[in-house]
Amino acid sequence: MARGYQGAQGDVKAFTMKKWFNTNYHYMVPELDDDMELKLRSDAFLDGFHQARSLGIQTKPVVAGPFTFLKLARCTGNKSATDFVDDILFAYADILKRCGENGVEWLQVDEPYLVMDLTMGDVALFRKLYQTLLEQKGTVKVLLQTYFGDVRDCYRQLCELPFDGIGLDFVEGKQTAALVAANGFPKDKILFAGLVNGKNIWRTNYKDVLERIAGLKSCCDHIVLSTSCSLLHVPYTVKNEPQLSTEIIRHFSFAYEKLDELRELCCLAELADYSCDRRYLQNQELFQTSELRTDTEVQKQVAALTESDFTRRVPRKERQATQKELLNLPLLPTTTIGSFPQTKEVMQNRTKFRKGEISEEEYRNNAKGFIRDCIALQENIGLDVLVHGEFERNDMVEFFGENLSGYVFTIGGWVQSYGTRGVKPPIVFGDVKRKKSITTDYIRYANSLTDKDVKGMLTGPVTILNWSFPREDISTQEMMYQIGLAIREEVLELEAAGVRIIQIDEAALREKLPLRRADWHSDYLNFAIKAFRLCHAKVKPETQIHTHMCYSEFEDIIPEIDAMDADVITFEASRSKLTILDSLMAHHFETEVGPGVYDIHSPRIPSVEEIEAALRLMLDKIPADHLWVNPDCGLKTRGETETVASLKNMVQAAKNIRNECKGDI
Ligand code: GLN
Ligand code: ZN
């Protein structure tokens, strides 16, 4: 189900994979078929509980709640989520029963969907589920846990239902404190107060938290101090980072350290006066501004930006005409998103260089060897716009971070992304600036090997920031503009080196869109779009700017995506059934588009016919001279054999459809 299947027993596509709310963690979307029966299949959810208890530790098992499950599941037939209420209640009643039988004291039920904009129907569904379920809780205490925002649409209902504890997020939940202050908190429940940020890696400011606790004490009798969300989204411990100086590391708190903070905060909160306590004073010292983190030159540059820094001189339609003439590409041009499979040799080259076993010159020469092979391979496959393959990159964000000042890196700071894949987000520590030329040498080299165009390949400022751990002492806008200026330097350098197509990936733009619609523009979209425009506003009209987004669920923000003013956008669409195309058409989307024609997250090889079918669907909605043909994301996680086979099928399909189109034009 997770990876798709292709073999003796058939050919099945993988389940849809989506980002877990506003994080870079992915989940498989559960599918509910009409004839499906939901029931508890095993006690696996108690495995960790038993293991801990054998060590003498009582833990609370955690399960995803029925409301969030139903809201995120996809119904494949005629039934809708509400038709599964009885079934799912049956399954969760079993969970409670098994908890009771196994000596569970507290069961934590996660309902992050409660922080989304809820309709009255949603609130009614939530109430119905829990009214029934809580009647069956027996001796087990139930903690209803929310995170990633506030529960403004259902706070009252939450308080009325017979939960034993309610977990609220005071970090991302902008209105959480006000909700509690205005409505009070029920005397018979425990407040699990998420006051330590579970998503970022900075030390907690004790002053803020202790003041908040003091405020909460006036209306809550029982408070449990907690992190704002699961610690899945931060690395394990700073103890694995001996390479970082004490001056830097003392500012960090990973998962393990956050537990220490919780413990210290609990002690301090019990004191009549904590203001002279050593732990408190040491903590406060961390929040004095440090020179290490300030670069006034960059700050001035950002302050001096004007509208012309964000606006391309020639309107897109005119540019598109000029570019068509200059680039002379066939109808339905084929391309890829950037990376090619990271073979053993590619990874060994990086490891050897990192360990000092080979010189920089050797390393770069090897990288160029991979580029040469990759260009030859793409010419052989018959692609129209080529890429250099990204063999020098460990990761599309970490690589750029390494070439920017103001960044700090960890050795063991992994967080889970999807399946067994992890990412190691770099940390924005100070003001950010480009240290030196980053990609131009490789891209220039790749371009020298072929008559076709090779795309310059960069990561955009929104994605660099969204996949880093950001600072908390300056605004997101400020950080994005700083990174935007650095990428702009690189873009202009590529252009000067004769690169005619430049792709600036914004894979993570959609994922950090605030969960509540009311916050979209004020909080995020305005400056995220501007940060992207800042990167390319100053290029010549002939230079074609591409962007790429992994996550195509941008149906609600299509005008904003168009306003990024790129010339071409490629995006992930193969797992989301292409519904996005209708919205593009409805909004008269101007940017040329390359909706991914096959899914690269699965090793499955798409057939020529299947890609042709996808292209025909696309051509129903998108003018042929606006359509590109490409996979839905980079190929670095794939094996070589399946990649070559898939791309060959893709190129063949494009050729076949091109011939069909010729009759129409
Ligand atoms: N250019 C990047 C690559 O191909 C884009 C990856 C992504 O969108 N996550 O690897
Ligand atoms: Zn992608």
337 lines ligand 1 (CB under 6 A): yes
* Span 185-200, pLDDT tens digits: 999 999 999 999 999 9
Mutate to test the pocket of ligand 1, among 392, 547, 633, 638 (most ligand atoms within 8 A of CB): 633
CA distances in angstroms from 634 to 274, 339, 347, 421, listed in the order given: 52, 5, 16, 15
Q: Tell me which ligand sits closest to the C-alpha of residue 643.
A: 1
3-state secondary structure 25-70: CEEECCEECCCCCCCCCCCHHHHHHHHHHHCCCCCCCEEECHHHHH
Burial class (CB in 10 A: 0-12, 13-18, 19+), 381: buried
Q: Residues within 5 Å of ion ligand 2 by Cβ?
A: 507, 550, 633
Q: So what's the pLDDT on residue 579?
A: 80
Q: Are 4 and 12 within 8 A, CB to CB?
A: yes
Q: Is the pLDDT of residue 240 over 80?
A: yes
Closest atom of ligand 1 to 503 CA is 1
Q: Compute, in angstroms, the gap from residue 459 CA to the centroid of ligand 2.
A: 11
Q: So what's the pLDDT on residue 516?
A: 95
* Span 530-561, pLDDT tens digits: 999 999 999 999 999 999 998 777 888 999 99
Q: Is the pLDDT of residue 367 over 80?
A: yes
* Span 468-501, pLDDT tens digits: 999 999 999 999 999 999 999 999 999 999 999 9
Q: Is the pLDDT of residue 578 over 80?
A: no
508 lines ligand 1 (CB under 6 A): no
Q: Compute, in angstroms, the gap from residue 634 CA to the centroid of ligand 2.
A: 6
User: Which among 324, 385, 332, 384 has a CA at the least distance from the CA of 615?
Assistant: 332
241 lines ligand 1 (CB under 6 A): no
Strand-strand pairing, 165-169 and 190-196: parallel
Q: Compute, in angstroms, the gap from residue 549 CA to the centroid of ligand 1.
A: 8
Q: Are 96 and 138 within 8 A, CB to CB?
A: yes
Q: Are 174 and 152 within 8 A, CB to CB?
A: no
Q: So what's the pLDDT on residue 577?
A: 64
Mutate to test the pocket of ligand 1, among 339, 443, 462 (most ligand atoms within 8 A of CB): 339
Rounded to the nearest 10 degrees, how much is the dihedral formed by the CA atoms of 354, 357, 360, 364? -90
**Other CB atoms within 10 Å distance of the CB of residue 576:** 19
Closest atom of ligand 1 to 636 CA is 10
Q: Can you read off the two tokens belonging to residue 375? A: 């260009």
CA pair distance 111, 147, nearest whole angstrom: 8
Q: So what's the pLDDT on residue 290?
A: 78
Query: What value does the mean pLDDT take over residues 129-139?
Result: 96
User: Which among 578, 559, 566 has a CA at the least distance from the CA of 622?
Assistant: 578
Q: Are 391 and 374 within 8 A, CB to CB?
A: yes
CA pair distance 66, 130, nearest whole angstrom: 9
User: Which among 233, 166, 223, 165 has a CA at the least distance from the CA of 197?
Assistant: 233
Q: Can you read off the two tokens belonging to residue 53? A: 């208890």
Q: Can you read off the two tokens belonging to residue 407? A: 């960044």
Q: Compute, in angstroms, the gap from residue 458 CA to the centroid of ligand 1.
A: 9
Mutate to test the pocket of ligand 1, among 455, 505, 575 (most ligand atoms within 8 A of CB): 505
548 lines ligand 1 (CB under 6 A): yes
Q: Are 66 and 113 within 8 A, CB to CB?
A: no
Written as one string, the DSSP assignment of 446-470 is HHHT-SS-B-EEEE-HHHHHHTSB-
Residue nearest to atom 5 of ligand 1 (CA): 634
Residue nearest to atom 1 of ligand 1 (CA): 338
* Span 26-47, pLDDT tens digits: 999 999 999 999 999 999 999 9
- Mean of per-residue pLDDT scores for the chain: 95
> What's the distance, CA 5 to chain centroid?
26
Q: Can you read off the two tokens belonging to residue 481? A: 């503009």
CA pair distance 526, 234, nearest whole angstrom: 28
* Span 208-229, pLDDT tens digits: 999 999 999 998 999 999 999 9
The residue with greater pLDDT, 474 or 665, is 474
CB-based contacts of 102, cutoff 8 Å, min separation 6: 43, 46, 49, 50
Q: So what's the pLDDT on residue 52?
A: 98
CA pair distance 205, 340, nearest whole angstrom: 43
Beta-bridged to residue 504, according to DSSP, are 458, 547
Q: Are 142 and 134 within 8 A, CB to CB?
A: yes
- What amino acid positions are annotated as catalytic residues? 601
User: Which among 576, 514, 586, 524 has a CA at the least distance from the CA of 550?
Assistant: 576
Residue nearest to atom 10 of ligand 1 (CA): 634
Strand-strand pairing, 501-505 and 421-423: unpaired
Query: What value does the mean pLDDT take over residues 494-513?
Result: 95
Written as one string, the DSSP assignment of 274-324 is -TT-HHHHHHHHTTS--GGG--HHHHHHHHT--GGGG--SS-HHHHHHHHH
Q: Are 38 and 90 within 8 A, CB to CB?
A: yes
CB-based contacts of 208, cutoff 8 Å, min separation 6: none
Q: Compute, in angstroms, the gap from residue 338 CA to the centroid of ligand 1.
A: 6
Written as one string, the DSSP assignment of 372-401 is HHHHHHHHHHT-SBB--B-TT-SSTTHHHH
Q: Is the pLDDT of residue 665 over 60?
A: no
CA angle 242, 294, 464 (to 5 degrees): 70
Closest atom of ligand 1 to 550 CA is 8
CB-based contacts of 612, cutoff 8 Å, min separation 6: 653, 656, 657
What phi and psi values does residue 594 have, to the nearest 5 degrees? -130, 85
Q: So what's the pLDDT on residue 101?
A: 97
390 lines ligand 1 (CB under 6 A): yes
Beta-bridged to residue 182, according to DSSP, are none
Q: Are 631 and 597 within 8 A, CB to CB?
A: yes
Q: Compute, in angstroms, the gap from residue 32 CA to the centroid of ligand 1.
A: 31
* Span 291-336, pLDDT tens digits: 788 899 999 999 999 999 999 999 999 999 999 999 999 999 999 9
Q: Can you read off the two tokens belonging to residue 425? A: 């987000």
Query: What value does the mean pLDDT take over residues 415-424?
Result: 89
CA pair distance 496, 69, nearest whole angstrom: 52
Residue nearest to atom 6 of ligand 1 (CA): 634
